[in-house]
Amino acid sequence: MNQYLDIKEEVAQALREGRPVVALESTIISHGMPYPQNVETALAVEQAVRDGGAVPATVAVIGGRLKAGLTPDEIEYFGKKGPQIAKASRRDLAVLVARGQDGATTVTTTMMIAYMAGIKIFATGGIGGVHRGAETTMDISADLEELAQTPVMVVCAGAKSILDLGLTLEYLETKGVPVLGYQTNELPAFYTRRSGFSVDYRVDSPRELADAFRVQQQLGLKGGMLVTNPIPEEYSMPKELIDAAIEQALAESRAQGIHGKETTPFLLARVAEITGGDSLASNIKLVLNNARLAAETAAEFCKINH
């Protein structure tokens, strides 16, 4: 086991016994929403994983230790500190650990730490991707590179709709990452079920998802698998409304000179303000939906591997 990694005992026991475990990220706690809503949501997502038949493992860096599984007190600590905690992508991990600092894990670092711990399946809200205007800024999320090299299944509600979804799909295709739509042929766009872009394959059950991932691993194929799970119909926002809010937020970010790792938190916060909080409510519902599907898929994966 990695010398810098601490696996929560409940998680370690489930892994030893071949029971299903689902990794969860911590950026949603520190940077995704305000306190105490962030803590309430994190605990609700863990409960959704349990309800789906798996053990939750929220991932973070605390005091320079990589954590696969947090206690309620540690989740509370993250929620209260919020954006004071560094957002930790692959480039940040070594320095944060060396300095004994805290880090909120993105999709990238959650995948990395989950893989170190032996956790195969990870649920999040939406992945990062190719930002609009990337042909001049080269602003492309490290999430896409991680999906190309780390063998973890990521269950999400698509790429965040603040991104260039067409270029994100092209990038994933170039890197050989399969993009599966859960009960849909169309790539969901985070707050809304519609994007106008097609996924590689439609898959209709957790068993099918687990089977595809099992075969990918048995074939020795490098990299992960992306499962896109549309936000439930009743919580989906009208595409025109969310597109208008995103365009306004993007214009404001350009005017204020916001770039790099600050871009996504700024845009998500502004979209929430512009939509009167509707986007935040949708965000919570889609994360819970992804956690349930990831748990059911993890349970099926364990059944066919033992």
Residues acting as catalytic residues: 25, 160
Cβ contacts of residue 9 below 8 Å, gap of 6+? none
CA pair distance 290, 124, nearest whole angstrom: 7
Using CA atoms, how far apart are residues 289 and 277, in angstroms rounded to an integer? 19
Question: Phi-psi bin for 171: left (phi > 0), alpha (psi -120 to 50), beta?
Answer: alpha
Buried b (16+ CB within 10 A) or exposed e, 71-88: eeebbbbbbeebeebbbb
The total number of residues written for the chain in this structure: 306
Cα 266 vs. chain centroid, distance in angstroms? 17
Closest CA to 59 of 136, 137, 118: 118
